[in-house]
Amino acid sequence: MSNHVLSHSETDDRSEIIAVHCSLEPFDLAFKINSRLDIKLVRTNYDISFKQTEENYMAYSNESCSEGALVFLFSNSYIKSQTNKNSPLLFDQESTEYALMPELRQADYLIKYVDEKNTLESFIKSLSLLKEISSCYKVENSKIKSKHNLIL
């Protein structure tokens, strides 16, 4: 995937963040949301990555919709596996888990919801009705420290 350099003008203060707890793979969750909520999430041309680390977070969006809300789906975890050559154990793989938004480490996915209308509550209710989603909730903006990590 290619890297994307952000300009300062791409920050969006109108967006709301929804934390999603779900055990599905990202492509499967995007498919379920598409089929049941009539949203057209597609994998973006680039993932979220950082220059300092090897972290890579999948991103899906419905940016092509002409009206209605913009919805972005992000995986919130990245697992890095390393081989520990000094380990006397049979399995010498060590894995470290990172989070796109460390303050929401428990959430499996994050949804960035941008809409001029007041439809966030109905969207969250529709999401919570999906049987594959354990829970989902709006995250208060005051609790988010790394909102700029979700800029595409």
User: Are 66 and 24 contacting, i.e. CB atoms less than 8 angstroms apart?
Assistant: no
Domain range for 48: 17-150
Quick check: is 11 in a domain?
Answer: no
The Cα–Cα gap between 90 and 110 comes to: 36
> Domain count of the chain?
1
* Closest-CA residue to 16 (of 104, 115, 149): 115
Quick check: is 1 in a domain?
Answer: no
User: Are 56 and 92 contacting, i.e. CB atoms less than 8 angstroms apart?
Assistant: no
Quick check: is 9 in a domain?
Answer: no
- Per-position pLDDT tens, the chain of length 152: 555 554 433 445 678 899 999 999 999 999 999 999 888 999 998 888 877 777 888 999 996 565 678 899 999 988 887 776 676 666 667 778 888 888 899 999 999 998 877 888 999 999 999 999 999 999 988 777 766 666 65
Quick check: is 2 in a domain?
Answer: no
- Residue at 64: amino acid letter: S
pLDDT (0 to 100) of residue 35: 93
Quick check: is 71 in a domain?
Answer: yes
The Cα–Cα gap between 16 and 113 comes to: 5
